[in-house]
Amino acid sequence: MKNILITGGAGFIGSNFINYILQNRDDINVVNLDKLTYAGNLENLKPIENKPNYHFVRGDITNVELVDYIFRKFDIKYVINFAAESHVDRSILGSEIFYRSNVIGTNVLLEASRRFEVQKFLQISTDEVYGSLGDTGLFTEQTPISPNSPYSSSKASADLMVQAFHHTYGLPTVITRCSNNYGPLQFPEKLIPLMIINALNNKKLPVYGDGLNVRDWIYVIDHNKAAELVFEKGKVGEVYNIGASREMKNIEIVKLILKKLGKSEDLIEYVKDRPGHDRRYAIDSSKIQNELGWKPYYEFEEAIDFTIEWYLNNKSWWERIISGEYQKYYEVQY
Ligand code: NAD
Ligand code: DAU
């Protein structure tokens, strides 16, 4: 049995990962360490919460004593670090918690991993560390790191620390850098769920700037299958980009969602641009495809339908979220 510490496993991608991996494998014990910030939700893990090889610990990855205790108690030999403050707009409203959780938190996990002789440490990073592209070109693993937002700077700092631990101490680390995810269980602050939920509630759909910024979209299950493969077979010390080559302008996505829900484009409202808004992201994923044999499985057209369907069928999940603390954030942000 592999004893794996998965951090941030109650968030969007982490919970999809744990649900996926525990439904498919019996050769692993998963310890999920999550602080349950506004973005963490144990409801997300209902499908696997009673499995004997699943354990949940509520806590902060910056807590050195707690992290040490978990490594000792569960004999942790593998780490997958999903935990992070993940929303760019929130990092613009206040950056301190991003530095604390994303940089210091990763450092605490790395130090413990060194002490407890971890056999693989997977850092879940993002394409945003590369900065912004012009109209052409793709991010490769050789693209220089050049983050622009407090969020992406914190993720880039964490990546550099992960690489330093490999270089200096020989810690067997790997880093994945994935593009924009979408799918079930994504917190309503992010573009796709925000637009679905606002459209369903006949609320305005706030599009930043001219709406022509481009993101490269991947279904969360495709990201998670790639992450599992890198965790199992990725070469230590390496970085792997993950993306499904599905570039779209924000306004195209917003109009598509309105069309699928049978709502009027009059709901679109162009609002003030995000400060420092990255123009375009696009991923070259040929390294993971050629070296590890991964390729995306889901077409955008079908997976966006699953996603919209999921939000239609899980109203109580998001209604609880948007009626709580989220309302205050929404008022400040919009
Ligand atoms: P999310 O905000 O939905 O979830 C983050 C989870 O981390 C939450 O459950 C939260 O409670 C937990 N967490 C935050 N700070 C913590 C701390 N200090 N200690 C313990 N737990 C903590 O985020 P997500 O969208 O699922 O992203 C997960 C990871 O994937 C992040 O590292 C993010 O940078 C990366 N990523 C996200 C995307 C995307 O499109 N969402 C793309 C590429 C990479
Ligand atoms: O690229 C990977 C990254 O994707 C991850 O590292 C981040 O954790 C994740 O949040 C995401 O970052 P983005 O900033 O690209 O995602 P977001 O959903 O916030 O915004 C997507 C695009 O939509 C972006 O160009 C801003 C725009 N947008 C977003 C919101 C929330 C709007 O126009 N209006 C909105 O209300």
- Which stretches of the chain score pLDDT less than 50? none
DSSP 144-181: PP---SHHHHHHHHHHHHHHHHHHHH---EEEEEE-EE
**What are the residues facing 249 on neighbouring strands?**
214
State both tokens at 57. Answer: 């610990």
ipTM: 0.99
User: Active site residue: 20, 54, 78, 151, which one?
Assistant: 151
Q: How far apart are CA 56 and CA 5, in angstroms?
A: 10
pLDDT tens-digit series, residues 146-160: 999 999 999 999 999
- Clarify whether 49 is annotated catalytic: no
- Clarify whether 151 is annotated catalytic: yes
Of the candidate CATH numbers 3.90.1150.10, 3.40.47.10, 3.30.420.10, 3.40.50.720, the domain formed by 2-181+217-242 belongs to: 3.40.50.720
pLDDT tens-digit series, residues 304-318: 999 999 999 999 999
- What's the angle, vertex CA 242, arms to CA 301 and CA 245, rounded to 5? 40
**What's residue 324's pLDDT?**
85
Instruction: Name the residue of 6, 7, 12 to mutate for ligand 1: max ligand atoms within 8 A of Cβ.
Output: 12
State both tokens at 198. Answer: 């606002």
Q: How far apart are CA 84 and CA 87, in angstroms?
A: 9
Residue 13 Cα to ligand 1 middle (Å):
7
**What's residue 173's pLDDT?**
99
User: Phi/psi of residue 28, each to 5°?
Assistant: -135, 145
Is the CB of residue 129 below 6 angstroms from any atom belonging to ligand 1? no
- What's the angle, vertex CA 214, arms to CA 210 and CA 217, rounded to 5? 140
Domain boundaries, the chain: 2-181+217-242
Q: How far apart are CA 84 and CA 100, in angstroms?
A: 9
Q: Which helix (H) or strand (E) holds 144?
A: none
**Nearest ligand 2 atom to alpha carbon 155:** 6
Q: Which helix (H) or strand (E) holds 113?
A: helix 105-115
Is the CB of residue 120 below 6 angstroms from any atom belonging to ligand 2? no
